[in-house]
A and B are shown apart, each in its own frame.
Chain A
Amino acid sequence: MDWEAIGLKVGLEIHQQLDTRKLFCPCRSELRDEVSGTIVRRLRAAEGERGEIDVAARQTAERNLLFRYEIVPGSSCLVECDEEPPHEINTEALRIVLSIARHLNARILDEIHVMRKIVVDGSNTTGFQRTALVAINGALRMEQWEIGIPTLCIEEDAARKIEAQGNEITYRLDRLGIPLIEIATTPDIHSPEQTREVAEHIGMLLRATKKVKRGIGTIREDLNISIKGGARVEIKGVQELNMLAEYVRNEALRQLKLIEVAGKLRERNAVVHEQIHKVTHIFRNTKSKVIANAIASGGGVFAIKLSGFAGLLGKKGEDVHRIGSELAQYARVFGLGGIFHSDELPGYGITAEELNAVRSAIGAGSEDAVVLAAEKEAVARKGLSAVIERAKMAIQGVPEETRDPLPDGTTRYSRPLPGGARMYPETDIPPVRVNAVLMESLIPVEEYGAKIERMCAQYGLSREIARQIIRSWRDIEFEELSSMFPHAIAEIARLLTNTLAEMQNKKLEIEKLTVEHLAQILDAYVKGRFAKEGIEKVVEAFLCGAASIEEAIKSAGVEKLGASEIENIVRELYAQHPEISAKPNPESALMGLAMAKLRGRADGKTVNEVVKKVLTSNLQS
Chain B
Amino acid sequence: MNYEEFLRTHNLVAGDRVRIQMDGGVLEGIIMPHHEFSAPEIITIKLKNGYNVGCSVESIRSIELLERAGIEVQSAVEHRQKEGLPVVSIIGTGGTIASYVDYRTGAVHPAKSPDELIKTMPEIFNIANIKPRILLSILSEDMNADYWRTIAEQVAQELKESSGVVVAHGTDTMGYTAAALAFMFQELPGPVILVGSQRSSDRPSSDAYLNLLSAVRVASGTDLGEVCVLMHEGPSDTRCAIHRATKVRKMHTSRRDAFKSINAEPLGYVEGEKIEITGEHRKRGELVYDTKLEERVNLLYFYPNMNEELFHAHFDRARGVVIAGTGLGHVSTKFVPYIREYIASGGCVVMCSQCLYGTVNMHVYSTGRALLAAGIIDGRDMLPETAYVKLMWVLAHARDKDEVRRMMMQNIAGEISERREE
Contact = CB atoms under 8 A, between A and B. Distances in A.
Contacts of B305: none
Interface string A29-44: 0000000000111111
A47 B72 contact: no
A137 interface: yes
Interface in B50-65: 50-56, 59
Contacts of B254: 78, 83-85
A44 B205 CA distance: 7
Given A41-B205, A41-B237, A115 B50 contact: yes
A358 B209 CA distance: 45
Interface in A392-439: 420-425, 427, 430-431, 433
Nearest to A107: B24
Interface stretch (B35-43, B337-345, B386-394): B35-43
A120 B42 contact: no
Interface stretch (B101-109, B276-284, B316-324): B101-109
Contacts of B27: 136
Interface in A110-151: 110-113, 115-118, 120, 125-128, 131-133, 136-137, 151
A242 to B, nearest CB: 30
A431 B238 contact: no
Interface stretch (A49-57, A205-213, A276-284, A612-620): A49-57
A427 B255 CA distance: 18
A298 B27 CA distance: 59
Interface stretch (B128-136, B196-204, B405-413): B196-204
A115 B201 CA distance: 17
A44 B204 contact: yes
A421 to B, nearest CB: 8
Contacts, number: 139
Interface string B378-422: 000000000000000000000000000000000000000000000
A431 B48 CA distance: 19
A110 B42 contact: yes
Interface in B165-217: 198-199, 201-206, 209-210
B54 A431 contact: yes
Contacts of B256: 83
Scoring B205, B209, B255 by chain A CB atoms within 10 A of each residue's CB, the highest score goes to B205
A110 B55 contact: yes
Contact of A42 (B44, B50, B101, B237): B237
A44 B120 contact: yes
Contacts of B199: 82, 126
State which size class the interface on A falls in.
35 or more
Given A44-B204, A85-B254, A125-B205, A109 B50 contact: no
B259 to A, nearest CB: 13
Nearest to A40: B236
Nearest to A42: B237
A47 B203 CA distance: 8
Nearest to A420: B50
Contacts of A78: 254-255
A430 B46 CA distance: 16
B37 A133 contact: no
B124 interface: no
Nearest to A85: B254
A57 B205 contact: no
A46 interface: yes
B47 interface: yes
B120 A46 contact: yes
A164 to B, nearest CB: 18
A25 B43 CA distance: 28
Contacts of B74: 51
A45 interface: yes
Given A81-B235, A109-B53, A118 B205 contact: no
A81 B257 CA distance: 12
B237 A47 contact: no
A126 B204 contact: yes
Contacts of B202: 46-47, 424
B101 A49 contact: yes
Interface string B112-136: 0000000010000000000000000
A128 B106 contact: no
B300 interface: no
Nearest to B238: A40
B233 to A, nearest CB: 12
Contacts of B234: 39
Interface string B13-40: 0000000001111010000000101110
A422 to B, nearest CB: 7
A400 B160 CA distance: 55
Interface in A58-111: 61, 78, 81-85, 107, 109-111
A128 B56 contact: no
Given A40-B236, A126-B205, A113 B35 contact: yes
B209 A44 contact: yes
A346 B38 CA distance: 67
B49 interface: yes
Contact of A40 (B39, B46, B51, B237): B237
Interface string A590-608: 0000000000000000000
Interface in B212-231: none
Contacts of A125: 205
A63 to B, nearest CB: 14
Nearest to B199: A82
Contact of A425 (B39, B72, B106, B253): B106
Contact of A47 (B107, B108, B120, B210): B120
Contacts of A39: 234-236
Contacts of A422: 50
Contacts of A84: 253-255
A423 B51 contact: yes
B120 A110 contact: no
A111 B53 contact: yes
Given A50-B72, A423-B51, A126 B235 contact: no
Contacts of B47: 133
A11 to B, nearest CB: 13
Given A133-B51, A425-B52, A46 B106 contact: no
Nearest to A126: B205
A430 B209 CA distance: 27
A425 B205 contact: no
A45 B238 contact: no
A120 B203 CA distance: 10
A363 B417 CA distance: 74
B237 A115 contact: no
B407 to A, nearest CB: 39
Given A43-B205, A83-B254, A113-B51, A431 B72 contact: no
A128 B101 CA distance: 15
Given A51-B74, A83-B256, A420-B48, A427 B108 contact: yes
A153 B53 CA distance: 11
A562 to B, nearest CB: 65
A42 B237 CA distance: 7
Contacts of B235: 39, 81, 83
A61 B205 CA distance: 12
Contacts of A110: 42, 54-56, 59
6 contacts: A46-B202, A46-B206, A112-B54, A424-B202, A431-B35, A433-B42
Interface of A: 39-47, 49-51, 57, 61, 78, 81-85, 107, 109-113, 115-118, 120, 125-128, 131-133, 136-137, 151, 153, 420-425, 427, 430-431, 433
Pairs A-B, 8 closest by C-beta atoms? A111-B54, A127-B204, A107-B24, A423-B50, A430-B37, A110-B56, A40-B236, A133-B51
Given A44-B204, A51-B72, A137-B25, 7 more contacts: A43-B204, A49-B103, A83-B255, A110-B54, A110-B55, A126-B199, A425-B52
Interface of B: 22-25, 27, 35, 37-39, 42, 44, 46-56, 59, 72, 74, 101, 103, 106-108, 120, 198-199, 201-206, 209-210, 234-238, 253-256
